[in-house]
Structure 1
Amino acid sequence: MAWHIVEKLLEQVAEHSTLVGKFWVTFFFVLRFLMVVSIADTVFGDEQGSFVCNTLTPGCANICFNDFSPISLIRLWALQILSVSLPTIIFMVYTAHKMTKISQAKKLRQDEMDKKKKMREEAKKLKEEARKKAMADRRRRLEESGPPVKNEKKEKEPEKDKDDDKVVATKLDSDTPSRLMLAYVVQVVCRLAVEIGFMVLQFNIYVFKFWVPELFKCARWPCPNVVDCFVSRPKEKTIMLWVMFATGLIMIVLNLIELYHLGARKILEAWKQRGQDITKEYRVSSNMPHFGTHGGHGGGGRYPRGYPQAVGIRVGYARSSMSGEGGNDYDGDRFI
C-alpha cells in the first residue's frame, strides 16, 4: 500500500495547524502510523492460519474464525488511519488552493494600487506643469504692464494633496478568509467524530472487547457441536489492543484540546465574517488550473514541509515495510 502518499500529504498539514494540531500530527505519526505499519502488522499478520479448531468438519474453522474476527484488526486500523487522515488531507488541499487564489488576488490588488498610483502621479505632474505655465504667463503679463506692486501678495502654491502619496495598507489577517478558519474547525470535528466512531465500531463488532481470549468456543453451522478454537499469541494481541485503544483516547483528547484552544468566540467571529474574502472581491477564478509554484510571486517556491520533519522520526521504514520499497538500492528513507 502506498502509505508514503498519505505521509507526504500529512507532512504539509502541520504548516497550517495550531501548536496542538502539530502535536496531533506528530502523535498520529508515532502512535498510529508507525504502530500500525510496523508493529501491529507483525502481531496480527496471519491470524487465520494460526486459528486452530479441534474439528475436521470442512468449513467449520472458517465459519468460526469469521465469527471471531469479522474483519482483521490490522485492516480495520489501516482503514481508520485513512478515514482520520481524509478530512485533514481535504483541508490541506482546500487550503493550498485557497492560498494560491489569495496570492493571485493580492497580485491583482497590488497591480490595481500601482495603476492608481501611477495615474495620480501623472495627474499631479500635469497639474504641476499647468500651474508653472500659468505662473509664467502671469509673470510675462505683469512685466509687460509695468513694475510689480510692492504690496502684492506672493501667490500661494497649492498645497499638495496628502492623500495622493498614501498607499492604503491592508493587514495580513484581513487577507486570510474566515472560511479557512471554519474549514480547520470542521476538519478537527470530523477527525474527532471518525476516531470515536471507529472505537465504537471496534468495540461492537468483535466478540472480545479488551481481552483476546486463549480459547474461543464456537457452535456455528456446519460445526457438529460446540468446537474449541485456539487463538495464537492472545496476551501479545491483548497488549496491542490496549495500546491502540490508548492511542485512540490520546487522539480524541488532543482533538478536544484543540477545539478548546481555538475557542468558541474565535469560531463565532469567523462564522460572522465568513463572507469577507479577498478572492471574491477581486473575482479570482478557480476554474482554471494553476501552474505556478507555491511560495509567493516570482517563482522558485515549493510546498513547505510540515512540523513532523523536525522531530527526528524515520518514516522510510514504515513506507518500505508496507509498499515493498525497501532493498539495497532504496535510498528513499527520510527523517521527519
Structure 2
Amino acid sequence: MDWKTFQALLSGVNKYSTAFGRVWLSVVFVFRVMVYVVAAERVWGDDQKDFDCNTKQPGCPNVCYDHIFPISHIRLWALQLIFVTCPSFMVVMHVAYRDERERKHRAKFGEDSKLYTNTGKKHGGLWWTYLISLFAKTGIEIAFLYILHHIYDSFYLPRLYKCEVVPCPNVVDCYIGHPTEKKVFTYFMVGASALCIVLNICEIIYLISKRIARIINKCKRRNHHMAVQHDDYNNDNFHNYNVALPKRDMDDKPHPKIRASAPNLTLS
C-alpha cells in the first residue's frame, strides 16, 4: 500500500477542515498510519509462522489459526484506515465541483463576476457535505471497533488457546506468537480509534452549534432592522401630521361674517 500517495490525497482535506478536523488528521497520521507502517506490520508479519500447536496432525495448525484469527488485525486496520478516510474525499470533490462552476461562470460573465465568495468556505451544500462526512467517519469507526470486539472478544489475545476444530484429533493447545506485544498494539490502535470518534463528535457539535448561533444572530439582525424601519415610519407620519395640521386648521376655521347695514330712508 502506497501510504505516501494516501497522505498526499488527505493533505488536501486539511485546508478545508476546522481545528478539530486538523487534530483528527494529525491523530490519524501520527498515531495510526505511522504506528501501522513502522511497528504493527512487523509485529504481525510473522504471525502464522510463530503460531504453534502441540500436534503434528496435518492441517490442524492451519485450521486453528484461521479459527483464532478469522481476520488479521493488520488487514482489518488497513481496511479501517482506508474506509474511515474516504468520506473526507467527499469534501475535496465538492470543492472541486465548486471550482469548476466558478471557472465556467467567470468564463461566461467575465473575470470580475463571482459565483462564490470562497469555494472552500463551508456554507450551503458544502456544509452539509462536511457534516455528512463526519457522521460517515464516526459510523465507520464504531462499526470497525464492533467487528474487532466481536471477533476477538474484547480485544484480548490470550497466550494459550485451546482448539478443538476438525481435523484436530482432540483438544489441542495452541500458542500465539508475541501475545503481549500484540495486545499492547491492539489496545493502542483501539484507543486511537476512540480518540478519533471523540474528535468527530466534538466537530459535529461545533459545526451545528456554530450554525445555530449564526441563524439566531441573523434573525436578531432582521428583527432589529424591521423594528428600526417601523420606528422610522411612525416618526415620519407623526412629523407630516404636525406640519399639515396648521394649514388644515386655518382652512377649517370659520370666517367672520360681514353684515351690510341698510340705508336710513326715513324723511326728517
Q: Scaled by the length of structure 1, what TM-score is found?
A: 0.59
Matches within 5 A, 1:167-182: 172=117, 178-182=124-128
Following superposition, the deviation at residue 264 of structure 1 comes to 4.9
2:168 counterpart residue number: 223
Which residue in the other structure is 1:274 paired with?
Answer: none
| Structure 2 unmatched runs, 5+ | 216-268
Shift of 1:43: 1.1
Percent of aligned pairs with the same residue?
33
Q: 2:192 aligns with which of 238, 247, 254?
A: 247
Q: Distance in 2 between matches of 1:28 and 1:6?
A: 12
Equivalent residue number for residue 209 of structure 1: 154
RMSD: 2.5
Equivalences for 1:1-336 in 2 at 5 Å? Answer: 1-110=1-110, 172=117, 178-206=124-152, 208-264=153-209, 266=211
Given the superposition, is the C-alpha separation of residues 190 and 103 from structure 1 closer, same or farther in structure 2, using an over 3 Å criterion?
same
SS in 2 for 1:217: strand
- In structure 2, relative to structure 1, the CA distance for the partners of 1:171 and 1:220 (3 Å cut) is closer
Question: Match of 1:216, SS?
Answer: strand
Q: Is the 8 A contact 1:95 1:180 kept in 2?
A: yes
Residue type of the alignment partner of 1:236: E
Cα pair distance change 1:111/1:228, threshold 3 Å: closer
Question: What is the alpha-carbon distance in structure 1 between the residues aligned to residue 133 and residue 102 of structure 2?
Answer: 21
Higher helix share: 2
Greater CA radius of gyration, 1 or 2? 2
Deviation at 1:236, TM superposition (A): 0.8
Q: How far has the Cα of 1:187 moved from its partner?
A: 0.7
**2:159–2:179 contact (8 Å) kept in structure 1:** yes
Higher RCO, 1 vs 2 (CA within 8 Å, ≥6 residues apart) = 1
Sort the Cα spacing of 1:235 and 1:69 in 2 relative to 1 into closer, same or farther, 3 A: same
Structure 1's unaligned 5+ residue stretches are 114-168, 271-336
Alignment coverage as a number of residue pairs? 214
Offset at 1:110? 3.8
Partner Cα distance (2:115, 2:178) in 1:
64
Contact 2:157 2:183 (8 Å CA) reproduced: yes
Q: Is the 8 A contact 1:182 1:267 kept in 2?
A: no
Structure 1 residues 179, 87: closer, same or farther in 2, change over 3 A? same
One-letter identity of the residue aligned with 1:225 = N
Shift of 1:37: 1.4
Q: Structure 1 residues 109 and 264, CA, compared in 2 at 3 Å: closer, same or farther?
A: farther
* Cα drift, residue 173 of structure 1: 6.1
Q: CA deviation at 1:180?
A: 0.8
Indicate if the aligned counterparts of 1:181 and 1:267 stay in contact, CA closer than 8 A.
no
Equivalent pair of 2:156/2:183 in contact (CA under 8 Å): yes
> Compared with structure 1, are the counterparts of its residues 56 and 25 closer, same or farther at alpha carbon in structure 2 (3 Å cutoff)?
same
After superposing on structure 2, the runs of 4+ consecutive aligned residues of structure 1 that deviate more than 4 Å are: 173-177, 267-270
